[in-house]
Chain A
């Protein structure tokens, strides 16, 4: 009788450990999704600064009017239906345009441009931070999936390793 109680206690302990590890895996996986959406939030915040950019450049960059219109169009398309392709394209055009502004001393000297620079710099930092959070959450989840004994439970419940992202879109470095 005594032996049965001991075996029961051990089985109960093992079940509890399995539940705890599984819950931890689920929680970490959810965190990855949450953190991925966090990057999108800050990228969107970056694109929301486009009207400010248009306002700043109005009257100065007549030659780039077409580019500006293109950026605005891409932004509205991205806002209606967010997708990775539009986001990458928008990001590339946006960065190119920001780099182009560097050649307009009149724009750079303006108060609005300095304000925009500050806002952009803040958003860039937020994007960088959210990417690091996202990568860290993947690393933490992968460590749990790959290390013993949690790797056994991950295998039983079908938790698989998540690939680390390579961020295609590069942010422009704003000069102060």
Chain B
């Protein structure tokens, strides 16, 4: 009897600790997301281009978003008709008539939603391209473009990736620069056999062509089991702060040391501390990849004012990413090839 009581007490303590840990975790996640939102706003506020061109950008968005309002009205109308039809169905006993009454407005609603999202993508293409043209005419934006899963896999990021989504590609062929939003999801099956999708990563990935460094270097925030099984060596450099911020793997230790000299490491530490969103760096021969934990990029919302702010935020985040990419490229190439 005493044993059972002891067990009971143990279970109570276990649950109590688990609940406290859960609360701390939730608190931590909320705090992080608030900080993230704040950082995003600050980046927009501190962005010179956005500050000096705010009115111009607002005008471009306003001019082009006018047409989308008619689609919104059509969707609203379809929803109202659908509700009326559903109510009417209760008065009709004829089943076929009931089906027809629901089916027709449903098709109408589907077509409108499709047209709305299609139109929205077109508008986004026009708006972002106009803003980018104003910033630098070599940049192109494609709402449907993005990285492929195989290209993402080259970078060997530690998260499990069962579903990969990438869109909103900004490219600059002259610079060999590519930037797109990415969403990584994993699928998990519970004890009932139901599959759940968990978001593993939401941010953006940037790629830039650099001079070939003759090796692969992976600088991430955490250790990953993937590398230990392969030809890659986990390297601990002489800079303790760098080792704390980056876990380094490479297929060629000597080359990695050649690239990551003490002053480059110092610069990387500064960069990681000051950059927006947590960054993971991959240098694979002549390609530089940097992943930014920047949350949703060009998220398309229904509200025009929200839309305007979101577009400006996304442009600011993109410019910040471009700045980081150019800085890393400059640091590496200057040291390696000058």
Contacts and interface: CB of A to CB of B under 8 A. Distances in A.
Interface string B299-338: 0000000000000000000000000000000000000101
Interface residues of B, number: 11
Nearest to B258: A129
B184 to A, nearest CB: 34
Contact of A133 (B254, B261, B336, B338): B254
B238 A126 contact: no
A91 B338 CA distance: 24
A136 interface: yes
B236 A132 contact: no
The bracket for how many chain A residues form the interface is 10 to 19
B237 interface: yes
Given A136-B238, A140-B236, A126 B258 contact: yes
Contacts of A129: 254-255, 257-258
Given A38-B254, A125-B258, A132 B338 contact: no
Contacts of B257: 129-130, 132-133
Contacts of A38: 254
Contacts of B238: 132, 135-136, 139
A126 B254 contact: yes
Given A126-B258, A133-B253, A176 B236 contact: no
A29 B261 CA distance: 24
A176 B253 CA distance: 27
B252 to A, nearest CB: 10
Contacts of B254: 38, 126, 129-130, 133
A112 B255 CA distance: 26
25 contacts: A38-B254, A125-B258, A125-B336, A126-B254, A126-B258, A128-B258, A128-B261, A129-B254, A129-B255, A129-B257, A129-B258, A130-B254, A130-B257, A132-B238, A132-B257, A133-B253, A133-B254, A133-B257, A135-B238, A136-B236, A136-B237, A136-B238, A139-B238, A140-B236, A176-B338
Interface of A: 38, 125-126, 128-130, 132-133, 135-136, 139-140, 176
